[in-house]
Amino acid sequence: MTPAELSRTLVRVVRRAVDAGELAAPVPERVTVRTPPRPGRGDFATNIALRLAKDAGRPAHDVAEVLRRLLVREPGIRSVDIANPGFLNITLDGAAHAALLRELRAIPPSSPALPLSPPAHLVRRLGPDAARWSLLTSPGFDRDQLLVQRETNPLFRVRYAHSRTQALLRNARDLGFSPGEGELDGSTELLGLLGDRERVVARADPSRLARYLTHLADAFLRWHHQCPVLPRGDEKPSAVHRARLALVEATGAVLADGLRQLGITAPAHL
């Protein structure tokens, strides 16, 4: 389930609450959902109850409880929690995650690169890839950092994360197993960011896309260290390994597509 699909689901839930007389408020045309700012708060969060509370003449927490009761009955929703003062934190079920990963693993080639034209002197100094990325950095960023393969270099982290996904896919093929579907433990932050891709790409904002790719790469590298993708020792590939490999493949596809949109190469080896 993507943020756009979840937004439409929330609109339907609000309309159902209004039609049933449980809420007296105008039904919004769309509902904004966001990746929670902190891990462990579900896949997505929304402030729709806060928006409706004034028109409904009720506390936001009460409005949130009305929506929560209806929302947990929707397909693809595993659980909904309420956080003060009335935010809804939504966790998707395994089927919704599997559908999202299937979609992302099959991302078609991206449209032409977003408009980024670094001056010739930057291209000579940094090379074409780093020169394009340098246009997206904050004013105080030392552009020479883009020439070193260190954690302080955001472009390196993004490209390194992509190369790690490709290495894991190659290693899995050598071990004779491929991506599959199953439960994904410890992946809430990464899945939430992957679900946010559609909205980020739709904005067609190079700086926003670069920030998104950096957050995604960092989340992937954290998850990868905590959740081994490949069997260890004499261990045989299991459903868990196949599910994790699907998450790896989807992440790699999103990172590669985002870099292509910025006109930057996504090497399989780094």
Out of 59, 92, 125, a domain closes at 92
Q: How many domains does the chain have?
A: 2
Asked whether residue 105 is assigned to any structural domain, the reply reads: no
Q: What is the pLDDT of residues 109-144, one digit of tens each?
A: 776 678 889 999 999 999 999 999 999 998 889 999
Asked whether residue 73 is assigned to any structural domain, the reply reads: yes
Residue 164 confidence (pLDDT) = 97
Confirm if 175 and 233 have CB atoms less than 8 A apart.
Answer: no
Euclidean distance between CA atoms 187 and 251, whole angstroms: 12
Asked whether residue 107 is assigned to any structural domain, the reply reads: no
- The answer to whether residues 43 and 164 belong to one domain is no
Asked whether residue 191 is assigned to any structural domain, the reply reads: yes
Q: Mean pLDDT across the stretch 157-166? A: 97
- The answer to whether residues 133 and 186 belong to one domain is yes
- The answer to whether residues 86 and 122 belong to one domain is no
Q: Is 100 helix (H, G, I), strand (E, B) or coil?
A: helix
Global pTM? 0.79
Residue 119 confidence (pLDDT) = 94
- We report the CATH number of the domain holding residue 18 as 3.30.1360.70
Q: Mean pLDDT across the stretch 179-197? A: 84
Query: Given a cut of 70, is residue 40 above it in pLDDT?
Result: no
CA torsion through residues 70, 74, 80, 85, sign:
negative
Q: Is the peptide bond before 237 cis (omega within 30 degrees of 0)?
A: no
Euclidean distance between CA atoms 24 and 63, whole angstroms: 10
Query: Cα 268–240–151 angle (5° rounding)?
Result: 40
- The answer to whether residues 85 and 126 belong to one domain is no
Asked whether residue 144 is assigned to any structural domain, the reply reads: yes
Q: Mean pLDDT across the stretch 33-43? A: 75
Domain housing 229: 115-261
- The answer to whether residues 87 and 124 belong to one domain is no
- We report the CATH number of the domain holding residue 157 as 1.10.730.10
